[in-house]
Every structure is written in C-alpha cells, then in structure tokens.
Chains A and B, each alone.
Chain A
Amino acid sequence: MKVSTMAECMANGTQPEVLFWVGCAGSFDQRAQKITQAFATILDKAGVHYAILGKEEACTGDPARRAGNEFMFQMMAYQNIQILNGYGIKKIVTTCPHCFNTLKNEYPALGGNYEVIHHTSFLQELIENGKIKFTDSNEWKGKTITYHDSCYLGRANDIYEAPRKVLESLEMELREMKSCKSKGLCCGAGGAQMFKEEEKGDIRINQLRANEAIDTKANFIASACPFCNTMLTDGIKNGPEQVNAQVIDIAEIIALAII
C-alpha cells in the first residue's frame, strides 16, 4: 500500500492533517503489522490526509523509562521531539497505548506538545462524523465479543468508552469480563515485562487474563494494544483447553466492515 512519509509531504509542500505514529510493535511485529495495515486502510477509505515518519520514527522510550533507564528514555524523547517539532506536527494518532501515553503525557514536559489521539478514539470520531461507511451486510452484527482494557488506555488515561462505542456501532454483542474498565486486569506486558521473562509465580498473568476472556464464551476478544494482543493470543493458545476465540484489534474489525 502507498503511505506517504512526512519527508515526502514536506518535499511536495503539503502538510497532512494527522501523523500516524506506528510504533515499534506496529512496524516490526508480524501480527501487529496487520493492525497497522488495517488502520492505514481505514484512514485511506475515510479520506483522512495522513502521513507516517517512516524510517525517521524511533521508539518513544516507554519500555526503557519503565525499566528504570531514564537516560535512554530522555535520549529517545529528545530525538523524536526534534523530528516531530521539525515537521511542525500538531496532531498524532497511534495504534499503541504505550506510545499514546508517552507522547500525550510525558513529551509535553520535554517540549513536545501535540494533540495525541488513540486510534480507538479516532475511529469513534470517524464513525460519529459519518466518515466511515459500513457494508450493508454487516457480518459483525450479533457476534459475541469481549473487550480487554489496556492499562495504558484505561486506568492510565481514562479511555474506556471509545473502544466500546466502536464495537456497539457494529451492533456486536459485548460481553464484559469479570474484571473490566478501571478494574481491568493487566495482560502482563506493561512496565517492560514484554521484554523479559516473568518472575516466578503460580501462573502467568496473560494466562489468568486469557482465562477471564475465555469465561465470557465470546467468539472474539477485542484488543486495542499490540502488546495486549500478543499476550492474549499466547494465553488463548496455551490455555488448558483449545478454544476458538480469536484475538483481534478494534481497527481490524472496522477494516473488515468498511466499504
């Protein structure tokens, strides 16, 4: 697919309305790349003028900071802010709650001030403004789904409704897990846990969470974070019994329903 970079836009003398911050998982992880492509497809179809940083994008520094490496975080933040400010970026949309949190809450203190939107809120807005048209044969209608709250979207930034509203717009049957919204249970990836072995315990966190999702007996498990997606997929795969529940990002659901 053809996606413009900020460098190209600058060369053409155009300024896109929004920058799509892809994030490391969305760029490199094979599963997360599908989410990135789905979201880019939606942006194209909705007629949003957007661009990516492409090779100029770098890790926000979130996992380094949470692991305790403030130097590494500050280095990454410095570089990213130089680039973002250099392009005069005003508005950013991202499919990763960790990037979202860092860009929105932590970059302002370092001189990076942008309007930062998570893709679920962005999708909700597109749907409400009629920018997204669904196919007449809405295949998602009545399908059972449960939504896993990402900690960095939910508790960290109080976004609980946008992803649910998006699912409701497709008339899906939303089944809440035992712990949800502000009581939502972590997938186990945050705080740089994604990049190390879990400490010893009785059960893996992602297993515990996947079990809660399985208990809803929903056909689909919606995520809004590439890390949650990985953790839940593993949890479902390694669970005590084989289940057919599919872990899918909100953007992928919309991409499949859109004209």
Chain B
Amino acid sequence: MSTIASLSFMVISGIAFFMFSKQVLVIRKNILLGKDIAINDQPLKRWRNVLMLAFGQKKMFRNPMVAILHLFVYVGFIVINIELLEIVVDGILGTHRIFEPYLGSYYNLLINTFEILAALVIIACIIFYSRRNIIKLKRFISNDLNGWPQTDANTILIIEVVLMSLFLTMNATDPNTHFVISSYLQPLFNKLNLSTLNAIEQTSWWLHILGIYAFMNYLPYSKHLHIILAFPNAYYAPLHSKGEMHNMVSVQNEVLYAMQPELAPTGAAMPEKFGATDVMDLSWKNLMDAYSCTECGRCSAACPANMTGKLLSPRKIMMATRDRLEVVGKNIKANKAFVDDGKTLLHDFISVEELRACTTCNACVAECPVSISPLDIILELRRSLVMEQSNAPTEWNGMFSNIENNFAPWKFAPDDRDAWTAQ
C-alpha cells in the first residue's frame, strides 16, 4: 500500500472514530437527562448478570434455535473484530497481513476460524431476514415496526451479509492464501489475472473496513445499539423481586408527617412531581433501557394485553421513550436548555389507553434478553396520571374511595371482614 493510501486510511479512521465518539457522548448526555438514582449495590451479583445475561445470553436460550443463530452472529461479530486489529495496523503501516509471520501456523487457524464464523453469520442473517420478510413472524410484522424500524432491521442484516462477503472475497482473491471457506470461492476468480485479483482484493479490503466504519457510525441511530448497551444494562438490571414496585420516599414521608406531625422537619418541601409525564422524570436506567432496546418484540409477544388485541405493546413503550428522548435531546442542544415544546411522553407519545391495559404481570420484563423493564415506565406514567392529573377510570376512583373508607377495594362493611368465620 502506498503512503497516500496509508495517509487516507488514517484520516478516514480518525474521522470515523471522532464522529462515533461524538454520537456516543450525545447518547450519554441524553441518558443522563433521567433522574439520578443510585444503582451500585451488590457488585458481585451485578457482574454475574453481565456474565450470564450479556455475555452468556441466558434469556435468549428461552428459544434455543434462535439463540444459537444469534450466538453465531454475536460470536462472529466479536471474534472477527479481532481481525480488525490486523486490518487497522495494515492500513496504517501499509503492510499486508502483518501478523502472519509472527503467528506462523496459528495465523491460518485464526483466519480459518474467522472464515467459518463469517459463513455462519451469513447463514444466520439470511435466516433472520427470511423470518422477518418471508415467514413474517408475528412480532416482526407488528405495527410497532412500520416505517423506519422495519428498514433499520433489514438494513442491519444486509450490512452484516455484505461485510462478511467482503471479508471472504478479500481472502479468496489473495493469491497466496488457502483458507477453509474462501478457498471454495477461489475458482470464481480463477480466470482473472494477477493484477485484477489484486485490485479486487484491495477493493474488498477497503470496502470491508469502510463498511465497518459506516456500520459503527450507523449504530447510534439504530436499534442495533444493543450490541454495546446490553452489557451495562445487564450490570444495572434490578436485583430485587420483580413484584416489588419502586418506593416513593417523598410520598411515604408525606403520609408519615400527616400521621405523626411531630416527626415533620420544619420547611419540608413537597416534591415537584409525582410519577413521570416526560422522559426527564424517568430514571437514567429507564432511559438507558430505551437505547438498549433492539425492538425484537419478545416483550409484546408475551404481553397478555397485546396478545388479546389491546393497544398496549411494551416494545412500543420503549420505542416511544427513545423517540421522545431524541426530540428532547435535540431541543436542549438547539436552545441550550429544554424549551417547552407543548409535548410530553405521556399523552403525545404514549396514550392513556395503552397504560390502562397493563396487568403488571411482568411477562415483558421476564422475556427481555437485555434486562429492560417496560413495566417500570408504564407504572411511573400511571402514577402521574392518577396523582397529578386525577386521570383514572370511574371504577378506579370507586376502588380508591372504597379502600379509603371501607379498607377494601369493594364496598363491604369493614365489620364484616371476619364474617367468614361465622359461616
């Protein structure tokens, strides 16, 4: 490779990494718009979750066939990216397969492994593509994915196939090599002369690395961001029983001071808000959840409300949260501070009807392979509806007043509570 090529490679790499880190910082900033909550207890259990849920993909194995295909893509992605190291060093120094002399026969073993994985990635992606577009699995043709999300999903699969094919072509057109998969492709290029082969190899090399840079910069705009965020999201996954709702200490204290006024500190201020109306009222974990969502729809497929044709789709809750967060992030960037745009997550992005359909059954939480809780967001929005906007169905208002007056959700006389003993 010439000096010019080396130089342009370095410039392109620099730009690619610069742009990517800029977007990463934007996302980090957006996530930190969420309310500050401390999640740092029990680090051992948390690392265990990273190991089991993120690295080990434990939840994926609820469906073993899909889990194995996904594992090919995942291992392929990670392992083949080791080869990226050589590609980058070659690019900078203008060398060709710089690691080969140092690794000896191990080099062949390594590249053969990469090639097998590349082939498996191609097979898995083709199957995934058919599940979406030919078999039309229910969770992939849902209205949640109309428009961009559908395109996003297919684009990723196509990019993966193209990148892997370029990698194999690059090896196949390298006349001095004989690797396990690409050698089968070599007959295709038999009739070409050496300089053409060289040109194809160089082009594949360039397209492969440029493709990877493009993919990297596409990530922050895509659902595919889960390949990065699944790891921190597993670390910060809640460790308590799924049935436990997050306690509102402010309300707890409010009740305590009403009951025991002597405990009330002087000048204790009421919290500004109860529950969440917008993304800033959610926790940073809720917002990281939104960026971690890869829109696979396992949550919605398991949701009893969604299954029975209700408007609620837990996946849509996550997508709406991310969409709103992006809008708010841009608003802040343009105006230096958030300027009211007359919209909120509640009502404008997520409707009351959706929230009302939830049975809090935790099926969505149990299914999510990347430790997202759509339920947490649903419940925070419900709190705002009821406590800030007095927006509850009549029957619920009846239930509240029954609990208040009769100590039971139904209108029975509290004195009859032990009537069953007399029967």
A interface list, Cβ under 8 A from B: 1-3, 5, 22, 24, 26-29, 33, 36-37, 40, 52, 54-55, 57-59, 61, 63-72, 74-76, 78, 101, 104-106, 109-110, 151-152, 155-158, 182-183, 185-186, 188-205, 208-209
Q: Is the CB of A199 within 8 A of B311?
A: yes
Q: How far is the CB of A2 from chain B (nearest CB, A)?
A: 7
Chain B interface size, as a band, is 35 or more
Given that A68-B385, A78-B255, A202-B308 are contacting pairs, would A192 and B421 also be in contact in the complex, using a CB cutoff of 8 Å? no
Known A-B contacts A24-B408, A33-B423, A37-B423; A199 and B357 likewise in contact (beta carbons under 8 Å): yes
- For the complex, what is the distance from the CA of A207 to the CA of B363, rounded to whole Å? 18
Q: Which residue of B lies closest to A58 (CB)?
A: B407
Chain B residues contacting A105 (CB-CB under 8 Å) are 240-241, 243-244
Interchain CB contact (< 8 A) of B353 among A155, A191, A199: A199
Can you report 28 residue pairs joining A to B where beta carbons are below 8 Å apart? A5-B418, A27-B408, A28-B412, A33-B423, A37-B423, A54-B417, A55-B415, A64-B400, A68-B379, A70-B274, A72-B404, A75-B255, A78-B259, A105-B241, A152-B243, A155-B361, A155-B366, A186-B359, A191-B359, A191-B360, A191-B361, A195-B396, A201-B309, A202-B308, A203-B308, A205-B304, A205-B305, A205-B359
Shortest Cβ gap from A69 to chain B (Å): 5
A206 to chain B, nearest CB (A): 9
Question: Interface 1/0s, chain B 405-416, versus A by CB < 8 A?
Answer: 001111010111
Asked if B242 is at the interface (CB within 8 A of a chain A CB), the reply is: yes
Is residue B384 within 8 Å, beta carbon to beta carbon, of the partner chain?
A: yes
Partner of A188, one of B309, B359, B399, B423: B359
Do A197 and B403 have beta carbons less than 8 Å apart?
Answer: no
Stretch at the interface among B17-25, B202-210, B245-253: B245-253
Contacts of A189 in B (CB 8 A): 359
Provided the pairs A67-B399, A196-B393, A199-B310 are in contact, do residues A27 and B417 lie with their beta carbons within 8 angstroms?
yes
Known: A105-B243, A197-B395, A199-B310. A27 touches B403 (CB 8 A): no
Q: How far is the CA of A29 from the CA of B419 in the complex (A)?
A: 11
Q: Give, as a whole number of angstroms, the nearest-CB distance from B123 to chain A.
A: 28
- Bound-state Cα–Cα, A208 to B361, Å: 15
The distance from the CB of A87 to the nearest CB of chain B, in whole angstroms, is 16
> Could you say which residues of chain A place their CB within 8 Å of the CB of B396?
67, 192, 195-196
Please name 14 further chain A to chain B contacts, defined as beta carbons within 8 Å, in addition to the given A55-B417, A186-B363, sorted by A numbering.
Answer: A24-B410, A59-B407, A68-B386, A74-B251, A106-B247, A155-B363, A156-B362, A157-B243, A183-B62, A186-B304, A196-B356, A201-B310, A201-B357, A205-B308
Q: A70-B387, A78-B256, A157-B243 are in contact. Are A190 and B359 (CB under 8 A)?
A: yes
B420 contacts chain A at the CB level, 8 A cutoff: yes
Task: Give the most central of B359, B386, B400: most A CB within 10 Å.
Answer: B359
Determine the distance from Cα of A194 to Cα of B379 in the docked complex, in whole angstroms: 17
B275 contacts the other chain (Cβ, under 8 Å)? Answer: yes
Chain A residues near B243 (CB, 8 Å)? 101, 105, 152, 155-157
Contacts A64-B399, A105-B243 given; does A71 touch B255 at CB 8 Å: yes
Closest residue of chain B to A65, judged by CB?
B245
Q: How far is the CA of A54 from the CA of B398 in the complex (A)?
A: 24
Inter-chain contacts of A27 with B (CB < 8 A): 408, 412, 416-420
Instruction: Please give the distance in Å from A169's CB to the nearest CB on chain B.
Output: 26
Nearest CB on A from B347, distance (A): 15
Whether A68 touches B382, Cβ cut-off 8 Å, given contacts A55-B415, A155-B361, A186-B363, is yes
Q: Are A72 and B410 in touch, CB under 8 angstroms?
A: no
Contact with A along B284-327 (1 / 0, CB 8 A): 00000000000000000010110111111000000000000000
